[in-house]
Structure 1
Amino acid sequence: MLVHKAYKYRIYPNEEQQRLIHQMFGCCRFVFNYFLGLWKGTYTATGKGLSYNTCATELPSLKKDYEWLKDADSIALQSAVRNVADSFDRFFKKQNQAPRFKSRKYPVQSYTTKYTNGNLAIKGDQLKLPKLGWIRFANSRATDGRILSATVRRNAAGKYFVSIVCEVDVQSLPQTDKHIGIDLGLKDFAVGSDGMRVAHPKAFRKHENRLAMWQRRMARRTKGGSNWQKAKNKAAYIHEKIANVRHDFLHQLTTKLIRENQTISIEDLNVTSMLKNHRLAKAISDASWGEFERQLSYKSQWYGRIVKFAAPFAPTSQRCHGCGFIHKEVKNLCVRQWKCPSCGTVHDRDENAAHNIKDVAV
């Protein structure tokens, strides 16, 4: 099965390469904003937007008006035009909000270029990128398949990364008969119907006090000053640490579940609505249930596994998985163990829910 797989590496550009990267950021941002404004103006005047082909044909004349655009990677500029068209397509399909103008003050900047005529290549710990030449990078794992594109990104902490998208032939894993139901929670991240318990990493909670300290320091300092910038970088480093811990945990867990089980049943949680509960919103955000579901879904497609979903309002915690009796008092989250009044079975709240999710998921 051919899939698009991304490999993310940290790159270490020298001063001249950093200058060229920032120049590329600015050129792509200018092209995106220009055609976004043109698109909005045309829509306001005529009631119809612009297509990608219409914008792409105007790009050469834009380069004549702004000579400095010729110094940038032409494919990256075309990708910026494509991003405008794609963002409006998703907006009209109600997949995201209306596209907005990009700002140079936004801490995360990026641009995308595509492979053509050998402009992207890897040799040892050196990576070849258009207009930048060979850049040293942390070659932590070998890429597979055919290189399609590369996205250069600078994060809020000032580090530079590249994501290389390759077309990879992924082989399905050997089939197994194991079927597991998983109940996601806040006390334990996941509890399986087979007795598996996965502790919650609580990545944000562990770094919350340190992050708050640097955010307070940043608030007390003059905005834009050198000390304010130092505090801002410290806060960005902590946010990066939290994200790395969370992603590493989720990737390891989802990969383990995919390798060991043929069918995985989880609850289809409406996380957006659950975040409206202000008492639990911070803990729910720290859990990243949505990212867990996303990783599990695409990995199951890659490796020939099945992911089933239980209805979000099914009484999985209240129903006895032995006799089917529904105990209303178990709605209280403080009830961690309960005895079924009908059959007398003593249940652990989360394990019982995992069994019911396994039974009702479709």
Structure 2
Amino acid sequence: MPFKKADPNIVQFARKVLLDVSGDDAGCLDGQSKICNWLQNQLKDQVEARLCELYLMNWLAVDDEATTKKLLSEVYSEIGLRNLVPALKDKYPFLRCVHSSPLKNIGLRVAKAIAAHRKSKSGARAGQRVGWIKYKSWAKEWCSVEYDEPGKGWDVSEFGWLKLTFGTDRDGKRLSLRVRMVRPPKHIAQARTCRIIREGKDRYYAVFTFKKQKKARRPFARAVYIDPNQKNFGYALDAEGKAFEIQNLQRLREMECTLDALKAKRDKCARKSLWVDVVHQDGTTSTHWRPSRKWTSLNQALVRLELKVREQRKHFQFSLANQLFRHYDVVGIGDYVPENADHGKGRKYNRAVRNRSMHGSFKDTLQWMATRSGKRAVVLDETGTTRTCHVCNHVVEGGIHPSIREWDCPDCGTHHLRDENASQNGLRRLLESLGADAGSPQMHCLGPVQIIGRCDWRFHPQGWQGIPQGCANVNLMRLPEYRQRCVGTSVPPGGDTRAPGSTLRRFA
């Protein structure tokens, strides 16, 4: 049965909503997740048993085309793996405690993992080798419970509440759970799918998927170019002459140092310290190692801090992308990504450059936000933008060392700010590419852009409401307002060039 191709005019996005889960409700969700995790491991055994049977048939030269075709369909097709679940439900009745939709999606998940392994093994994914499916430990990773059909097994018709339908108990009674959602979106009734996840130890979320018509592209009237850097996240310049320096995410370095300290303390503890014997109902005994209480507490603190760092990085990227497309129709950015090489400043610096840089993932976020908002994101080759004078196009031989932040052109004598000069050249390339695009309106580049103002963009993870007026930390949810003035002029009497919560830096 051929699958339906995705409609290119439909855009899909997700919303994560916090669930107010009590102790008993958490036990119900954990039980559903454990059963789904067990089924995933059981499907791995079923797949490997069929592969062994195929190997033996090949080794013994058994010519049974029907059996071979049946085994191959059960291993390498999504429908074949999904059809293994009903037989397992008859053999293990406790699987009936889970709704059929999450169990079906476990089979599809295993099939996709096998397909990704085969694709990488065949060379279709160069440099992205995907290993064979492995056993999954529920204690290490919570298995999500996914309902992939609208209204089947879940219901949000009552605003603010999520009703989940489970399977049946041994008496045939249908099980269900009603959970309150914390600040759900207004359009929650339009959700198409629902996935229950857990982050940390006791925070449960419902991830809803929505579909909407893709917006038509607007005329490209406003354009901005971002020159990505390492000292700051980027230096941006738009076609109107507004320049702003995007600062890196604050406190990221301190949190990473705390992560290193926690890892060092955890690794000093003996992980395999307690020998535990478990007696099962059938009389059998199983033994396993259990970590010490100190190792467990340090590991839980480490997981919480890693989650916080990951969420703040995502919050920073999406806030910045939303802010850019709120005010510009085209956003260009250089293709700079830090190399995994020796930068000449020691091992710690190399590791920090690799871990703290978000330029690669930010480009993907920017492309996604452009698709959703009906605007455009362009990734440009930034080779030579720093060492090329934007006035006379003179190229400095040998490049300019990163420690040099300002320099004078040896040909025309123009004084340049390093990042601003690179942004001028990048903006010119962006406008030229838009003018050469057949599907874009003609946007002519008239040479260097006259700078009318400069300021900083700083991101505060607590949001705009938590920042006092006039503070140097500015949330990206508010754009600093520029005054139409030339750089170097004095501030008019009674006029403040700073927007609330922003800082206007004057380089000249």
TM-score, length of structure 1 as denominator length? 0.88
Moved more, 17-26 or 87-96: 87-96
Does the alignment pair 1:352 with 2:387? no
Alpha-carbon distance in 2 for matches of 1:99, 1:183: 40
Moved more, 256-265 or 211-220: 211-220
Taking only aligned residues, the RMSD between alpha carbons, in angstroms, comes to 2.7
Aligned to 1:208: 256
Does the alignment pair 1:327 with 2:396? yes
Alpha-carbon distance in 1 for matches of 2:188, 2:391: 48
| 1:17-36 paired onto structure 2 within 5 Å | 17-36=25-44
| 1:264-279 paired onto structure 2 within 5 Å | 264-270=331-337, 274-277=339-342, 278=347, 279=349
Name the one with the larger helix percent.
Answer: 1
Aligned to 1:136: 180
Aligned to 1:2: 10
Q: 2:324 aligns with which of 257, 271, 285?
A: 257
**Preserved CA contact (<8 Å) 1:262 1:305:** yes
Distance 1:162 1:203, change over 3 A: farther
TM-fit CA distance, 1:297: 0.4
Report Cα offsets for 1:176-227 as digits up to 9, x if no partner. Answer: 5111111112211121123121111144313233333433332344432233
Aligned to 1:115: 149
TM-fit CA distance, 1:340: 1.8
Q: 1:187 aligns with which of 222, 231, 246?
A: 231
TM-fit CA distance, 1:38: 4.0
Does the alignment pair 1:311 with 2:391? no
**Preserved CA contact (<8 Å) 1:335 1:349:** yes
Report Cα offsets for 1:98-131 as digits up to 9, x if no partner. Answer: 3532222324432311234453233343222232
* Identical-pair percentage: 18
Give SS of 2:192's match: strand
Alpha-carbon distance in 2 for matches of 1:252, 1:298: 13
**Preserved CA contact (<8 Å) 1:107 1:155:** no
Does the alignment pair 1:225 with 2:292? yes
Greater relative contact order, per chain length (Cα 8 Å cut-off, separation 6+): 1
Alpha-carbon distance in 2 for matches of 1:170, 1:191: 30
Alpha-carbon distance in 1 for matches of 2:39, 2:400: 54
Alpha-carbon distance in 2 for matches of 1:3, 1:179: 23
Q: 1:105 aligns with which of 118, 128, 139?
A: 139
Alpha-carbon distance in 2 for matches of 1:10, 1:182: 34
**Preserved CA contact (<8 Å) 1:124 1:139:** no
Report Cα offsets for 1:1-51 as digits up to 9, x if no partner. Answer: 532221101213222322222222222223323334444555574696510
**Preserved CA contact (<8 Å) 2:114 2:133:** no
Alpha-carbon distance in 1 for matches of 2:188, 2:335: 33
Distance 1:246 1:89, change over 3 A: same
Alpha-carbon distance in 2 for matches of 1:96, 1:71: 36
Q: Rg larger in 1 or in 2?
A: 2
Aligned to 2:98: 72
**Preserved CA contact (<8 Å) 2:196 2:205:** yes
Give SS of 1:330's match: coil
**Preserved CA contact (<8 Å) 1:42 1:50:** no
**Preserved CA contact (<8 Å) 1:28 1:76:** yes
Does the alignment pair 1:291 with 2:299? no
Distance 1:79 1:96, change over 3 A: farther
**Preserved CA contact (<8 Å) 2:386 2:421:** yes
Distance 1:343 1:213, change over 3 A: same
The runs of 5 or more residues in structure 1 that have no matched partner are: none
Report Cα offsets for 1:271-311 as digits up to 9, x if no partner. Answer: 5xx23445334234223222211111011111121111123
Alpha-carbon distance in 2 for matches of 1:104, 1:145: 31
Counterpart of 2:91 in structure 1: which amino acid? D
Give SS of 2:212's match: strand
Moved more, 254-263 or 276-285: 276-285
TM-score, length of structure 2 as denominator length? 0.64
Report Cα offsets for 1:236-276 as digits up to 9, x if no partner. Answer: 222222222222221111001112111111123455xx234
